[in-house]
Amino acid sequence: MIIVHDPPAMQQLADDARKSGKTIAFVPTMGALHAGHLTLIRKATGYGDSVVTSIFVNPTQFGAGEDFDRYPRNLDKDAALAAEAGSDVVFAPSAGAMYPQGYATFVSVEGIAGLLEGQSRPGHFRGVATVVAKLCLIVKPHVLLLGQKDGQQVIVLRRMLMDLNIPVRLVVVPTVREKDGLAMSSRNVYLTPGQREEAPVLYASLRMAEQRLREGERNAETVRSAMRDMITSGSHGVIDYVSVARGDTLEELSVIAPPLSVMISLAVRFGPTRLIDNISLTL
């Protein structure tokens, strides 16, 4: 396994791999690797002859007052974990290499990027779409692997790849969870012991909502209300949003009329720590 810091060097490595007939599978991360990331890397070994993992805490997707400065960083540990999971290359550029002085080009996905996370975190998906577009141009993958935990991000990036004719196959890997259902996230380390004990209520509320829909409930606001009640009665979490929306456009639903793809999602704050999760289903 090798570590590459320079974007042109990574591009040359990718060109050489492609010329030799190798398929490149790519897992973009911000580091602080956990079992969810490692699952993506292990899955990637089945899609590519060469697996590239990026480790880059992207400043353009963080808003004012968010946790960019305190986001956990440990490149040596992350590189060792990535190698053990099957990564052949770790691409770890600096912010200056990705956004040199005078940088002025950004990618904006209209519509869906302004909903839910986009509404709560203005500019977030502009940063996400920009960095993933740049990474695809640098790493030149055949296959891009993303986790379903960031459900809206998957939808936004699928649209970006399609609209910009970026020739990359997108593979979405199911969310990896702790034994009590909490979605694995690099931000879980911020939780106090009491908050960690309460946090599984998020997944419990998603499962409850899914069950209600599968059992025939067709009033989406009834489901959203039940989720809010479960979260507020079972934790000290402060709800940012709960959503029952179309799985393709993220348009909030009122009356649910199958057949339909639905994404149930939420964002909840435990103190300064903001956690997200979702479940997708087809009715």
CA dist., res. 95 & res. 82, Å (int): 21
Cα R_g (the chain), whole angstroms: 19
Q: Is 37 a catalytic residue?
A: yes
Which ranges of the chain does DSSP label H, i.e. alpha helix? Answer: 7-19, 35-44, 75-85, 95-98, 117-120, 124-139, 151-163, 193-198, 201-214, 220-234
DSSP 172: E
CA dist., res. 181 & res. 83, Å (int): 27
User: Element (H or E) spanning 281, and its range?
Assistant: strand 273-282
- Euclidean distance between the first and the last CA atom of the chain, given in angstroms as a whole number: 44
Catalytic residue, chosen from 5, 37, 142, 236, is 37
Active site residues: 37
